[in-house]
Structure 1
């Protein structure tokens, strides 16, 4: 039995992994799908203090309070920033890191540094609410951004999407234990359409060739949960 911790991306919540989590649990594995502070069912906690460090701590606390070890840590999109930080903070608890069409940052980079044009486009549709700069408002063509086209999936997603504090995307990731963290095995599951924008040879070198692609939109855990589950089971 393996232990998976599935970390969502910007504007989402743990809810987005329902279809993948159900399949992994049916296969006999433990699955945790935490929601980051200020998003999803925790959107009432949004404040000017919510940033990348706070959301990294969200996941670190799940691992520590649940006493999880040898975790397969999965991050989607912005979640790649989170899992890199988590792997740095609690290296001894992580058995494998999986980047799910995710940011793959270097030390000192923010998500704006990693995906500048996309993030600036997201910021253009943002606004300040109660003193907090928020982006990724659900009404600003989110399905185009997330690559979901199925009408039923869109109807399921729309009520659950929430805006995301811009500070999370702007804050730079600071690694404290990088040399040890980089020894953790990693895998990359990406969307076929994003491959031309990635350094595939570097990804393969970093992951001993574990780079797999799925021909679907960015929210692949929603649009192709069976394929994502099958690839996560390969990691075991």
Structure 2
């Protein structure tokens, strides 16, 4: 059986994977559905210092504390940028990456460079209105 690590997108939490996690577990797979810092049920931890590096470390910590190897690492939407960073850091522990309607950045690309100027400006405007938090 396989080890799945499912990373949600922005403005979400682990709950988005509840149904698919149940189905994968019923088929005998090991499934991990962490919530990224500052999102979902961890929204109480939000602050302007949280960034992509924080979320990459969140997932690396799951791998380390759960001793996960040979994982199928899946990311939805913003989660695609997270899993790309995780793969760059601990690729030897990952069997494959699965991008689910997700950003799949190439070397040197940021979320802003992928989404384009209009979306990047909207994110920055939102951060300016909310003390640095999107």
Is TM more than 0.5 here? yes
88 and 124 in structure 1: CA distance in 2 versus 1, 3 angstrom threshold: closer
Encode CA deviations 1:66-102: one digit per residue, 9 max, x unaligned: 1000000000011110000001111111011101011
CA distance in structure 2 between the partners assigned to 1:93 and 1:77 by the alignment: 22
Retained in 1: the 8 A contact 2:2–2:72? yes
Q: Confirm whether residue 24 of structure 1 aligns to residue 24 of structure 2.
A: yes
Report the counterpart of residue 13 of structure 1 in structure 2: 13
Report the counterpart of residue 140 of structure 1 in structure 2: none
Report the counterpart of residue 116 of structure 1 in structure 2: 116
Unaligned runs of 5+ in 2: none
Displacement over 6 Å in runs of 4+? none
Report the counterpart of residue 4 of structure 1 in structure 2: 4
CA distance in structure 2 between the partners assigned to 1:12 and 1:40 by the alignment: 5
Question: Counterparts in 2 of 1:54-65, with a 5 A limit?
Answer: 54-65=54-65
Report the counterpart of residue 103 of structure 1 in structure 2: 103
RMSD over equivalenced CA pairs, Å: 1.7
1:55 partner SS:
helix
Q: CA deviation at 1:123?
A: 2.6
CA distance in structure 2 between the partners assigned to 1:32 and 1:51 by the alignment: 21
CA distance in structure 2 between the partners assigned to 1:124 and 1:71 by the alignment: 34
Report the counterpart of residue 87 of structure 2 in structure 1: 87
TM-score by length of 2: 0.91
Question: Counterparts in 2 of 1:42-61, with a 5 A limit?
Answer: 42-61=42-61
CA distance in structure 2 between the partners assigned to 1:4 and 1:125 by the alignment: 36
Encode CA deviations 1:193-231: one digit per residue, 9 max, x unaligned: xxxxxxxxxxxxxxxxxxxxxxxxxxxxxxxxxxxxxxx
Q: CA deviation at 1:124?
A: 7.6
**Number of aligned positions between the proteins:** 133
1:31 partner SS:
strand
